[in-house]
Amino acid sequence: MPHRTSRRTLLTATAAVTAAAATGALTPPAVASAHSTNASTDRRLRRIIAGMSLEEKVGQLFVMRVYGHSATDPDQADIDANLKEIGVRTAAELISTYHVGGIIYFTWAHNTRDPHQIADLSNGLQRAALAERHRVPLLVSTDQEHGIVCRVGEPATLLPGAMALGAGGSRSDTRRAAWIAGTELAALGINQNYAPDADVNVNPANPVIGVRSFGSDPDAVADLVAAQVKGYQGAGIASTAKHFPGHGDTNTDSHTGLPVINHTRAQWEELDAPPFRAAIRARIDSIMTAHIVVPALDPSEDPATLSRPILTGILREELGYDGVVVTDSLGMEGVRTKYGDDRVPVLALLAGVDQLLNPPNLSVAWNAVLEAVRSGEISEARIEESILRILRLKSGLGLFRDPFVSHRGVERTVGSRAHRAAADRIAERTTTLLADPGSLLPLSRRTHRNLLVVGADPASPSGTTGPPTGTLAHAFGELGFSARALSTGTAPNQAKIDEAVAAAEGKDAVVVATYNVTASSSQRTLVTALVATGVPVVTVAIRNPYDIAHLTGTGVAASLAAYSWTDVELRAAARVIAGRAEPEGTLPVPVQRADDPTQVLYPVGHGLSY
């Protein structure tokens, strides 16, 4: 079996590189894929499978949500939620009833309150799994992409998301960010991360991917996907490239509908395939499917998650991938549009999937698969293929040897000073200065000491400690400015706009956090009104970098892109505005003109410096 870095080694390595990290020299180790194996290991794993009942085999295919901060003693509200949605009281009861092979953590399920609680939950889950007859450990997973998708928040280290890293353009920084994230997840007992996003975001109107993508250039995205795979897997956890065959060109959110991508096969090869090919070359441990229709790849118009031509024909046979294939959540509308919840898991397995993620009704899905095997629709040999891949992954991660984590490991690793310092430096290298026509920036405390920070306050991901305006104002305060925060929201009404205009009186500059501005957005009205006061206005796009297309012509003094509203990226933006860091980021996507989308306002690679 290929060598996998143990958690003990990781903790020692983390302590050893603290001094080096302070200068940016956090270097992830090389690592082999966890789904690789050898003959003797396979024989051992096949013996485990042979001893399983059919019910136990079916259970290994499922990765399920569960409410609660504890595996055995959740709060009463979480017990009630578990009973209502799953029919069990606790995570331990879920494992003993359905023999599930994995658990996925969500913030809203109260799984991720704080690092020590997460470690205790992970250990409790593994104890419940090892109490089962065959002592098969669990894959514990989450979506920790960083940026706008982040399930584990502070005091864990928060890092720039994919598009920010794309703006930085550094494979070293991208790999380092994944390694830092991976070592902290490993310390928490989370051994499978559903990242990186391998979609190529060629559609500015994409409602579900956007800044979760590294950019619009397939080759650049491929390089950074491979870097993150190596970073995560070098940290001892499984990495997951998503969403195959590519979710980057859609106007529909697959959470709420079924997107159709009309790329030709040649376009798919050119635009969507390169990052997945790169992930496979980097020996990716798992790949997640997309609930999208791609007629050129499968004329049946089944979603890719349920498509044998796509998952077996292309992913397995053409691309040669033999690792674990996991569905996107089976509770999403995109996969439920065409078939019922009883047919979806069966069709996914027939298509070539290994892991069935988060079905809306576990009892319906589990019993449907059980009946499909008993009836002969799915052969037992077919599900054993998937179970072998899953057990290979668990074995390669070292979970059969020791699936447990320690509080000492949490204290030494999660949110360490070295990790946070590295995150701040990486974030500085991603911040992009898009426009500064009057050379206003950097702001000087002598001439622009009194600031007003206004703007959007979107729902906070786990990587934030409060509204973006407050975070920015606090960051400016730490840099020696006097800054007042005023949250005006993503759709400010006239009263809020008037309040902001009044607050701007006597200020030396106004910083506006913008969030997905459109031609009809009242955020544009806010910016225009603030510019009319005569006070210099600096805008910071805190999600998609396309906001500037709708603000051109308003008279703003300078515009930046931060790519997210997590604390690490907002602090970096403040340091750039204040001249404490150079704006080194460049656009990883083009920004089209708002009045003529066929024309490019700012091309890929655009970015100003001081």
Catalytic site residues?
255, 328
Please report, for the chain, how many H helices and E strands are present, in that order: 24, 18
Cα three-residue angle 53-54-57, rounded to 5 degrees: 90
Sheet holding 62-64, edge to edge: 324-326, 286-289, 238-244, 192-193, 139-142, 102-104, 62-64, 356-357
Q: Copy the structure tokens of residue 322.
A: 């033999």
Kindly report the length of the chain: 610
Q: Copy the structure tokens of residue 301.
A: 């118009």
User: Do 182 and 237 meet the contact criterion of CB atoms below 8 Å apart?
Assistant: yes
User: Do 278 and 224 meet the contact criterion of CB atoms below 8 Å apart?
Assistant: no
User: Do 569 and 563 meet the contact criterion of CB atoms below 8 Å apart?
Assistant: yes
Ramachandran assignment for 44, one of left (phi > 0), alpha (psi -120 to 50 degrees), beta (any other): alpha
Q: Which residues contact 458 (CB under 8 A, 6 or more apart)?
A: 468, 490, 515, 542, 543, 565
Q: Which residues contact 478 (CB under 8 A, 6 or more apart)?
A: none
Which candidate, 263, 147, 124, places its Cα nearest to that of 214? 147
Q: Where are the beta strands (DSSP E) in 336-388?
A: 356-357
Tell me phi and psi for residue 270, to 5 degrees.
-80, -40
91 CA to centre of own chain = 24
Ramachandran assignment for 65, one of left (phi > 0), alpha (psi -120 to 50 degrees), beta (any other): beta
User: Do 426 and 176 meet the contact criterion of CB atoms below 8 Å apart?
Assistant: yes
